[in-house]
A = this chain, B = another copy of it.
Amino acid sequence: MLQVQWIVGFVDGEGCFHIAINRNEGMSLGFQVLPEFTVVQHKRDVQILHKLKAYFGCGVVRTNHGDRMAYRVRGHDQLRDIILPFFLKHPLKTKKNIDFLKFRDVVLMMDKGVHLTGDGLEKIRGIAGQMNRQTVR
């Protein structure tokens, strides 16, 4: 089993907290908000992705691009009940923690249905646009 601080360090390096906003005509506003936690590795280290999946007890391991594989958690309840509490209790030490906190805000807003209103969707779009930019904020 992986150790907690190893996971924090590895995710500080390789993890990504991302909010995709995709056009989806099936949604009343025409857009779907898709929060996603991913860790991407070369396929030679796919065993580590399976260990992350086993540790968190959720998510999937899939091919990403070419030789790269990804561990991915998209389920709303799994993000809210497993991933968010873990990284709230064991904070990332890099500036990626800022992305995590914005990610958390969006998932908790979605829990209240905020993304289903036009104003809420715009607010989420604004937060998503500030994430994963690798600049000092």
Residues of A that sit less than 8 Å from B by CB? 2-14, 41-45, 48, 51, 67, 93-95, 134-136
Nearest B residue to A39 via CB reads B13
Secondary structure of the A contact surface, majority rule:
helix
Alpha-carbon distance between A103 and B123 when the two chains are bound, in angstroms: 49
List the number of copies, as a whole number. Answer: 2
CB contacts (< 8 Å) of A7 on chain B: these are 9
Would you list 5 pairs from A and B whose C-beta atoms are within 8 A, ordered by A residue? A6-B12, A6-B93, A10-B13, A42-B134, A48-B93
A12-B13, A13-B13, A13-B14 in contact; A94/B6 too (CB < 8 A)? no
Contacts of A135 in B (CB 8 A): 44
* A134-B10 in contact given A2-B93, A3-B5, A5-B4 (Cβ < 8 Å): no
User: Looking across the interface, which residue of chain B has its beta carbon closest to that of A45?
Assistant: B94
Tell me which residues across on chain B come within 8 A of A51, comparing CB atoms.
Answer: 93
Across the A-B interface, the 8 shortest Cβ-Cβ residue pairs: A13-B13, A9-B9, A9-B10, A5-B5, A6-B9, A13-B14, A5-B6, A3-B5
Min CB distance A81 to B, Å, is 23
